[in-house]
Amino acid sequence: MTVTRFAPSPTGRLHVGNIRTALHNWMLAKQAGGRFLLRIDDTDAARSREEYVDAIRADLAWLGIAIDGEERQSQRLHHYERAFEQLRASGRIYPAYESAQELELKRKVALGRGLPPIYDRAALSLTDEQRAAKEAEGIAPHWRFKLDHVEPIAWEDGVRGAQKFDPAQLSDPVIRRANGSWLYMLPSAVDDIEMGVTQVLRGEDHVSNTAVQIQMFTALGAPPPRFAHEALLVGREGKLSKRLGSLGCDAFRERGIEPEAIVALLARLGTSLPVEPIADRDVLLNTFDLSTFGRAPAKFDEDELGRLNAAIVHQFEYERVAAHLPEGMDEAGWHAIRPNLSRIAEAGDWWRIVTGPVDGHTFGEDDRAYLAEAARVMESNDLFASGEPWQALTTALKGTTGRKGKALFLPLRQALTGMDHGPDMGELLPLIGAERAHARLVAAAAAG
């Protein structure tokens, strides 16, 4: 069974890049009939907040990304301890004592000599006496995973294809701080093993981490999952944008962006498939394919999201939106107004055209006479009995006034709605009703 996971740290709200990663992992699992897991990476107790855990769950639910299981790293510390001891016993981790300042100096020296800025493994040459002396000075060690330099690290990446790293060109990663707290690398590998994760899809900024973690899986006696690394999101200008780091579900909700629009955009962003206003998730799932993912940065365009949102709102049936519509607006009202909306929240503005009052226009003498005739026709004929009062009214007025085209339709729209454009009058006039429509025509005929 395919098992994927999304592993956010609860140190802030999800941003659009996180959302895309979560969505793609969910799609990868669901397309294969598998399981999608949420792992809360909250080992950083100082920065993690329970309010962000709640927000992550709420945002995923709002987006329609259902989870099939959840784990908290803060509740799994004994698993990491056990793996740590296993690796220490097998000689795959070692203590190191350099300060941050010493490591930075080493990095600068290496760069100055034209060498890669990787850790020089100086801690491995320390004798037991030297280590004891440092600890006697109160210097607590941090712990590094010892990479095996014998063979290249290679895997077939689901997006990037064949990958190969020379482990000698990588630093032995720090897996545990001097205060005993964990960094990302080892706990993540342990969790993937014990949670049965079969596929990891994440950003291309993790490629070198994957090389290191593949050796961790082997050292722990477990086969690594399949890895795929997708291109990162960039802004419309083609650069990494700070705004993308703050743009999340709360911002989308405030703008009236629907979750279906976000999913439609992010599902295909960075692939060769066209981004289309597809609200049916089965369609998106059936076409999801890692082979369509490209290596070029994926450009996120807020204007494109807005256009998608409008197109998807136009597809919504009444049942989907009923709870968000103004009081009194029924299914007929929704169908009349829907084509004019870019956001559901705009329905209230358009519904006021029906309920009134409407802004008055100033009409010339000819148009006032024409509108007076329209009021007379409406009063003397039961236009609404036909079920198509707009057609009945305009047909009658064309016969009595000889008007046609814009001269026939525009003054009526202005008088009845207060606007020069808007919903189809054939759908709108029955909602306005005979009494309100007649009163508006009379008022407009008298407006000089």
Residue type, 52: Y
Find the distance separating the first CA and the last CA of the chain, reported in whole Å.
75
Angle, helices 259-268 vs 16-31, to 10°: value is 80
Distance CA 73, CA 41 (A): 5
Containing 38, the helix (H) or strand (E) segment is strand 35-40
Distance CA 215, CA 219 (A): 6
SS3 at position 205? helix
With the C-alpha atoms ordered 135, 141, 145, 148, is the resulting torsion angle positive or negative? negative
Going edge to edge, which strands form the sheet with 93-96?
93-96, 142-145, 174-176
Q: Is 242 annotated as a binding residue?
A: yes
How many residues are listed for the chain in this entry? 448
Containing 58, the helix (H) or strand (E) segment is helix 50-62
Burial class (CB in 10 A: 0-12, 13-18, 19+), 96: buried
Distance CA 5, CA 191 (A): 10
SS3 at position 3? strand
Give the number of other Cβ atoms within 10 Å of residue 188's Cβ: 24
Q: Which residues does 347 contact at the CB level (< 8 Å), separation at least 6?
A: 321, 324, 325, 326, 329, 334, 337, 341
DSSP lists the bridge partners of residue 299 as 234
Asked if 60 and 22 count as a contact pair (C-beta separation under 8 A), the reply is yes
Burial class (CB in 10 A: 0-12, 13-18, 19+), 421: exposed
Distance CA 121, CA 49 (A): 36
With the C-alpha atoms ordered 243, 244, 250, 253, is the resulting torsion angle positive or negative? positive
Q: What is the DSSP letter of 295?
A: S
Residues making up the annotated binding site for ATP are 242
Residues making up the annotated binding site are 242
